[in-house]
Amino acid sequence: MQYNPGELGAFGSNTTETTEFRLVQPPKEDGASLQFVEFNPEFTYPVFGEQEIAFGYKDLAIQLYYASGSLATYFHLDYSEIFQGVSSSTAGEELRADDIEGKLREFISHDYKTNHDQFTEKVRQDAKEFRPIGEKVHEYSLKDGQEHFEIYKSSFSSEKFRKYHERMQFFMLMFVEGSSYIDSEDEKWDIYTIFKREDETDSKLYHFVGYATVYPFFCWPDKIRMRISQFLILPPFQKCGHGNILYSTIYNEIMTRNDVVEMNVEDPNEDFSDLRDKNDVRMLMKANAFDQLKAPVSDDFVEQARKKYKLTKRQMQRCVEIHLLHHLDKPKAIEYRNYRLQVKKRLYKFNYDALRDMEADERLEKLQETYKGVEEDYHRILELI
């Protein structure tokens, strides 16, 4: 079959728009259809390239369905027409439809099903048999106690969990910018998973909500730093408070460990930075860590607070500044000036390489401009708290 060049565009599909995720669970009543929530990825470039385009299909739908608890997977391509290979007059090469399944197999667990009836049976079976893997470290309720959730801590020392992680890690690629797979052979990873629990008459049903990975790094001479590497709440469960609770659970676990001196975060994006800031400030306020504190705050105070609450120096400085701004009486000129000078002092040190070669007036102007942006951002974070 020969195609005009103008016809070829109809066979191109945006893979972010056409990839359909579903979390599937059995019906509540006999004879009813399976229940599911459907959502799309944020991006698909890790699989399909920077342009996020798949060629060769009209009306494409890339269906990746998961049993809501076990994450047993179903894969199917739905389309109205597939491109038949033809010789390209411009390149002298034969055009073919992309091997979408082949590309996905590089990233998803290979135990997926392609028969929908088998997948349906697996959903029903797993709903009865699946239980979260690992040690339960926290449980909580939302919506006035109507919804119940549990957090489990696991590691790759469990072969069963390693296989489970093979299924869930694909979500991280599709929703967290710049993420990559972690080494599942390294048993030092701590992985925290959240599950929604439904209490049935004779059983419990569990539904996957999200997860975070944490890794220990050596800190001389005999301690470690724990670093949050990955953090994800799936879209159907976002904006409900799960991220705050997961972060606080990890932090509280770390605070109980005498061998850990600090918790830090690997390359946080803006959303996670907000979550981190508001939870750290809430925690410190609740602990009365900054009672009666006013600018200027000494480096010794910051250092002692950092050690006590196991935060990085920069994060503790930010928390101090947010707290001071919250209690700042701006009409008091001296108090406001002291606050500005403290923030600018940190900004100058942090941006020293970029500022040192500027003329004095230009440097002061740039510091003031940066300070204004920081203060505005702090006001935004305080509104979240």
> Residues forming the annotated binding site for acetyl-CoA?
231-233, 269
Burial of 146 (0-12, 13-18, 19+ CB in 10 A): exposed
Q: How far is the C-alpha of 360 from the C-alpha of 357, rounded, in Å?
A: 9
Let me know if 33 is exposed, middle or buried by CB neighbors in 10 A (0-12, 13-18, 19+): exposed
Q: Which amino acid is at 69?
A: G
User: Taking Cα atoms as reference points, which of 226, 195, 225 lies closest to residue 213?
Assistant: 226
Residue 270 to residue 274: CA distance in whole angstroms: 6
Q: Is 266 a catalytic residue?
A: yes
Which backbone phi and psi does 158 adopt, to 5 degrees?
-95, 115
Query: What is the three-class DSSP state of 194?
Result: strand
Q: Is the peptide bond before 41 cis (omega within 30 degrees of 0)?
A: no
SS3 content of the chain, % helix, strand, coil (to 5): 40, 25, 35
Which candidate in 177, 200, 266, 362 is catalytic? 266
Per DSSP, the three-state class of 55 is strand
Cα–Cα distance between 210 and 137 in angstroms, integer? Answer: 15
Going 256 to 257 to 261 to 267, the CA torsion angle's sign is: negative
168 near 208, Cβ under 8 Å?
yes
Which residues are annotated binding-site positions? Answer: 231-233, 269
**Alpha-carbon span 108 to 95, nearest angstrom:** 26
Distance CA 347, CA 140 (A): 39
Q: Which residue numbers are catalytic?
A: 266
